[in-house]
Amino acid sequence: MNNAETAIEAKDMVKRFGSFIANDHLTFSVYKGEIFGFLGANGAGKTTAIRILCGLSKPTSGEIRVAGFNVFTETEKIKKHIGYMSQRFSLYEDLTVFENFRFYGGIYGMSRSAIREKTSEMLGKLGITELRNTIIASLPLGIRQKLAFSVAIMHTPEIVFLDEPTGGVDPITRRQFWTMIYEAAASGITVFVTTHYMDEAEYCNRVSIMVDGRIEALDTPAKLKARYEAASMNDVFIKLARNTIEK
Amino acid sequence: MSEYAINCIGLNKRYGKTQALDNLSFSVKQGEIFGFIGPDGAGKTTLFRILTTLLLADSGTASVAGFDVVRDYKALRKILGYMPGKFSLYQDLTVEENLTFFAGIFKANIKENYYLIKDIYDQIAPFARRRAGKLSGGMKQKLALSCALIHKPVVLVLDEPTTGVDAVSRREFWEMLIRLKKEGITIIVATPYMDEAILCDRVALIQHGKILVTGTPSFITGAYPWKLFRVRSNNTLNLISQLKKHPDIHSADMFGEYVHAGTEHGKLNTEAIHAFLEASGTVMTEVSEIPAGIEDCFIDLMRKENE
Amino acid sequence: MKRFVIKEFLHIFRDIRSMVILFGMPLVQVLLFGYAITNEVKDVHVSVVDPSHDQVTTAIQQRLFASGYFLQGEVLYSQGEIEESFRKGRNKMVVVFDDNFAQKLERREIPSIQLIADASDPNTANLLVNYANGIIAGYNQSMAVSAGGPVIVPEIRMMYNPALKGVFMFVPGIITILLMLVSAMMTSISIAREKELGTMEVLLVSPLKPLHIIAGKVMPYVLLSFINAISILILSHFVFGVPVNGSLALLLAESMLFIVLALSLGIFISTVSNNQQTAMMLSMFALMLPTILLSGFIFPVENMPVVLQWLSAVMPPRWFILIIKSIMLKGTGLAYFWKETIILIVMTLVFILASVKKFKIRLA
């Protein structure tokens, strides 16, 4: 995969807040169509990094390109070419399914007919065409989550950022959700997942693990498990975090 | 007092159209760590609020430590320790002030009960003067547990204590619970994480307000009715659709980079699956037989329930 | 842009509360200001001291009471009675005629006529005196022209506030508003915050009784509000020269009563609101606006339509403003406002009972 095109390219990304270094020389690439897991404990610096990659905050130094655009000078272009979904916020609960689609499609400058087409296509895929005019608040959590993801990729972004996407959903819905993510990745959308739930990490092609502002490991889950002689990503993470603290 | 710390019979609770609890019955033994495992919206919080006297069930009875949750709510409130799902401390008070306040409202003596929280509180003691709102997720949770324990409760009720907390803090938290259990405290804990099930003495898997199964983790996984294979390929989606084509394969579910395929006992072995996939042109790197985990059981029970 | 506007409209249309505020508030405001909030004065009780009781004084009185501004009040006979009627708040102005009024006029002497107004409300006092002056001037004109008699010039006396300082009127109002604001709004918000943050859940599961929780929440605010009241009094007395003619102890005691009343109102509001936003809105619209508009603080209650007068009667601030004005400006004691005090006490008890009853020992 080394020769593949990159969707995100970060070299020596540094972000300081006063004397506190939130991101300490992060260097990594995310390949096109890859599902990339961005892991770390609370306060390890994940949120800071995501904000920079989404064009919401400027790094202190480094060379970073997202979807080919420079995060220092081309944040507007970056925002047009990415999608974002978080577990906490994504859909307006007091609007209907279609109104949410219409709103987000509108934000990204999609035409009326394109929005209508995309909505029926995505609802059809989820098998919930009949819920088009239902208020979000009255839908079960699982469906909401799938809809949120559909909305995040309706403008076919190059990269979609998912912030703890499947915390708290039932195991069947979670698998349906990951199936959607795999399909999106297969269609060429790069998926960037941040989470501190290690079982989500197992689904990613490659994962990076952040500890105290630095990337301590970056590889496929299988190779990481082999390297740290661990049965699960959870154990990998605990070993890594404890090693670093002892250091 | 009976051998049961908690006893519930036929609990029902409805919010409008939603049946939050559907004829729920279970019992928890003295000194047990009992886990309620299920997704958000399964009814865990509703159940815990009924057990902590905060809500009234529509029907059914529940008793905790021998006290009826409706009739004896005053007595019960004296001996319960409760950590709600939301972080429920005063963010604008310091660590120390929070602990003093909660000791105060239970008329508890911090010095007398300190041994109980010592292991936990020692870790946050260096930040005693810091405001609770400024603590990290893991530390907040330790403080909340300290506050819930300071009056030496007989029964500890923890609603999703590990949600939103990183893996290291989660592990430490469970280590603390196991120590508390040794002090004789009965602990009932809700969690959406299947992997926490094996840390409990007994668990109930819960979905749509119904208990799917109750028992020790090994009892539940032992009762898994299918033979389970773990298969890996470079294309998980394709692998699943190929596996589902086989008439003897009952289920094929993603588990990280693997797919778990369930079959009836005695029908298939690794070689047969290997041969079948190879014939279909699937590139696979591994096929092996594995024991079922709690998540496999949950999926299987959910499917049965849905049928 | 367009999508955003549409989305925002949808949010508003689907939220009943914002709809009520959006469309209900302007209606209420316009109606209130249109009806209640008239600065003009009419139908005000005016008493008369008329030792002469001759054709001239009767004619002047007729003109006064035919004007539509004034209603015939009591007939008084002495200085003592005048002061007493003011203290009791029975009238806003007293017209005092000279004795042998007509005879003096005939003898080309100028009889005196005195207008004494209750200037604890300086705006109203000013208006009343101006109206009366105008009417007497009218009488002068018609009489002087035909008879060539002397011109009667009324002598004006502003009771309680000779300099007509606006601050005399505002201080009682501001004390009332501030006590209401700090006490009711702060308690209701702070209780609602505990519900919102989830700490209320833990308190409820503890052995604390509802009364303990309420008392614990309220105590600090009692103290803070009391300090607040005292600092306003000190400031207005030493900087603006507002007098405290009556008993200071009584003033503080009545303030304390009002604080407790406001706090119990605040608790009541918090029992019906689940989050800080609702508590804030309820306090604003249910307490602040009526306190300012309907309490008689700025706009005299007498001029409101009957419906609003009734509404005003259930507003605690109305009675409290009356009480503190009486103590501070008129220097009267409990004998003059025991009724108002009892009203406040009854209101306090009602709210405390209602909130202890409504305060749930469980969630939902």
Quote the pLDDT of residue C144. Answer: 64
Residue C318's Cβ-count burial label (10 Å; 0-12, 13-18, 19+) is buried
Q: Indicate the SS3 state at residue A29.
A: strand
Q: Which two tokens stand for residue A204?
A: 């990613």
A2: confidence class by pLDDT, cuts 50, 70, 90: very low
Contacting partners of chain C (3+ CB pairs under 8 A): A, B
Tens-digit pLDDT profile for residues B11-69: 999 998 889 999 999 999 999 999 999 998 899 999 999 999 999 999 999 999 999 99
pLDDT at A119 over 90: yes
Residue of A100, A146, A137, A135 whose CA lies nearest to A119: A100
Rounded percentage of chain C residues whose pLDDT exceeds 70: 97
Residue of B22, B167, B256, B21 whose CA lies nearest to A171: B256
Tens-digit pLDDT profile for residues B246-275: 999 999 999 988 999 999 998 899 999 999
The whole-number average pLDDT for the span C235-258 is 90
Rounded percentage of chain A residues whose pLDDT exceeds 90: 65
CB contact under 8 A, C363 and B78: no
The whole-number average pLDDT for the span C259-286 is 86
Length of chain B in residues, anyone? 307
pLDDT at C363 over 80: no
Q: Which two tokens stand for residue B96?
A: 């120390």
CB contact under 8 A, C198 and B88: yes
Quote the pLDDT of residue A228. Answer: 93
Residue of A184, A229, A228, A220 whose CA lies nearest to A201: A220
Length of chain A in residues, anyone? 247
Q: What type of residue sits at position B88? A: S
The whole-number average pLDDT for the span A158-174 is 87
How far does chain A reach from its first CA to its final CA, in angstroms?
33
A71: confidence class by pLDDT, cuts 50, 70, 90: very high
Q: Which two tokens stand for residue B239?
A: 């692998």
Domain ranges of chain A: 6-246
Residue of C247, C251, C245 whose CA lies nearest to C226: C251
**DSSP letter string over C301-343?**
GGGS-HHHHHHHHT-HHHHHHHHHHIIIII---HHHHHHHHHH
| CA separation, residue B11 to residues B16, B19, B62, C161, C298 (Å) | 16, 11, 8, 71, 58
Cα angle vertex C30, ends C25, C35, to 5°? 130
Residue C151's Cβ-count burial label (10 Å; 0-12, 13-18, 19+) is exposed
Q: Which CATH superfamily is C44-159 part of? A: abc type-2 transporter like domain (3.40.1710.10)
Instruction: Decide the pairing of beta strands A159-163 and A82-86.
Output: parallel
CB B60 within 8 A of CB B116: no
CB-based contact (8 Å) between B39 and chain A? Answer: yes
Quote the pLDDT of residue A111. Answer: 93
Q: How far apart are CA C364 and CA C355, in angstroms?
A: 15
Q: How far apart are CA C22 and CA C24, in angstroms?
A: 6
Listed by number, the residues of chain B in 75-94 with a beta carbon closer than 8 Å to a beta carbon of chain C are 77-78, 80, 82, 84-91
How far does chain C reach from its first CA to its final CA, in angstroms?
40
pLDDT at A26 over 90: yes
Q: How far apart are CA C153 and CA C309, in angstroms?
A: 36
Q: How far apart are CA B35 and CA B18, in angstroms?
A: 23
Rounded percentage of chain B residues whose pLDDT exceeds 90: 76
Q: Which two tokens stand for residue B9?
A: 């019979």
**Chain C residues near residue A112 by CB distance under 8 angstroms:** none
**Chain B residues near residue C198 by CB distance under 8 angstroms:** 84-88
pLDDT at B278 over 60: yes
Q: Which two tokens stand for residue B193?
A: 């994480």
**DSSP letter string over C211-264?**
HHHHHHHHHHHHHHHHHHHHHHHHHHHHHH-----S-HHHHHHHHHHHHHHHHH
Residue of C7, C11, C31 whose CA lies nearest to C19: C11
More confident residue, C260 or A197: C260
Q: Which two tokens stand for residue A227?
A: 């390297």
CB-based contact (8 Å) between B55 and chain C? Answer: yes
The whole-number average pLDDT for the span C18-44 is 76
Quote the pLDDT of residue B215. Answer: 96
The whole-number average pLDDT for the span C322-337 is 88
Could you tell me the sign of the dihedral formed by the alpha carbons of C330, C335, C336, C341, in that order?
Answer: positive
Report the residue from B41, B165, B237 with minimal CB separation from A140: B41
Quote the pLDDT of residue B82. Answer: 95
Report the residue from C202, C207, C208 with minimal CB separation from B82: C202
Helices (H), ranges, chain C: 2-13, 16-19, 25-35, 55-66, 79-87, 101-106, 122-147, 166-179, 186-197, 199-205, 210-240, 248-272, 276-283, 289-294, 306-313, 316-325, 334-358
CB contact under 8 A, B167 and A237: yes
Quote the pLDDT of residue A245. Answer: 57
Report the residue from B39, B295, B303 with minimal CB separation from A168: B39
CB contact under 8 A, C364 and B55: yes
Reported as type and span, the H/E element at residue B253 is strand B249-255
Interface test with B, best of C189, C199, C209 (most B CBs within 10 A): C199
Q: Indicate the SS3 state at residue A146.
A: helix
CB C333 within 8 A of CB C242: no
CB C83 within 8 A of CB C331: no
The whole-number average pLDDT for the span A182-209 is 91
Quote the pLDDT of residue A204. Answer: 94
Quote the pLDDT of residue B248. Answer: 92
**Chain C residues near residue A135 by CB distance under 8 angstroms:** 14
pTM comes to 0.83
Angle between helices C248-272 and C186-197 (to 10 degrees): 30
Rounded percentage of chain C residues whose pLDDT exceeds 90: 10
Quote the pLDDT of residue A4. Answer: 64
Q: Which two tokens stand for residue C262?
A: 């406001």
What strands lie across the sheet with A206-211, from one edge to the other? A82-86, A159-163, A190-195, A35-40, A206-211, A214-219
CB contact under 8 A, B171 and A238: yes
Length of chain C in residues, anyone? 364
Q: Which two tokens stand for residue B168?
A: 């290291």
Q: Which two tokens stand for residue C93?
A: 């102005």
More confident residue, C41 or C172: C172
Quote the pLDDT of residue C182. Answer: 80
Q: What is the DSSP letter of A31?
A: E
Tens-digit pLDDT profile for residues B145-172: 999 999 999 999 999 998 878 888 888 8
CB B117 within 8 A of CB B146: yes
* Mean of per-residue pLDDT scores for chain B: 92
Quote the pLDDT of residue C242. Answer: 85
The Cβ of residue A143 has, within 10 Å, a number of other Cβ atoms equal to 17
Q: What type of residue sits at position A241? A: A
pLDDT at C150 over 90: no
pLDDT at B235 over 60: yes
CB-based contact (8 Å) between A191 and chain B? Answer: no
The Cβ of residue B192 has, within 10 Å, a number of other Cβ atoms equal to 23
B287: confidence class by pLDDT, cuts 50, 70, 90: very high
Quote the pLDDT of residue B57. Answer: 95
Report the residue from B49, B77, B105 with minimal CB separation from C363: B49
CB C57 within 8 A of CB C327: no
Could you tell me the sign of the dihedral formed by the alpha carbons of C195, C197, C198, C203, in that order?
Answer: negative
**B54: closest CA of chain A, how far (Å):** 23
Tens-digit pLDDT profile for residues B183-204: 999 999 999 888 899 999 999 9
Q: What is the DSSP letter of A136?
A: G
**Chain B residues near residue C215 by CB distance under 8 angstroms:** none
The whole-number average pLDDT for the span C309-338 is 88
Reported as type and span, the H/E element at residue A36 is strand A35-40
> Which letter, b or e, does each residue of C254-270 get, where b requires 16 or more Cβ atoms within 10 Å of its Cβ?
bbebbbbbbbbbbbbbb
C172: confidence class by pLDDT, cuts 50, 70, 90: confident
Q: Which fold has domain A6-246?
A: Rossmann fold (3.40.50)
Instruction: Decide the pairing of beta strands C113-118 and C93-97.
Output: antiparallel
Residue of C123, C121, C79, C132 whose CA lies nearest to C330: C121
Quote the pLDDT of residue C146. Answer: 63
Reported as type and span, the H/E element at residue A243 is helix A233-246
C145: confidence class by pLDDT, cuts 50, 70, 90: low
Q: How far is residue A166 CA from its own chain's centroid? A: 11
Could you tell me the sign of the dihedral formed by the alpha carbons of B156, B162, B165, B167, in that order?
Answer: positive
Quote the pLDDT of residue A82. Answer: 93
Q: What are phi and psi of B106, to 5 degrees?
A: -100, 5
Contacts of B102 (CB under 8 A, 6+ apart): B147, B148, B150, B151, C202, C206
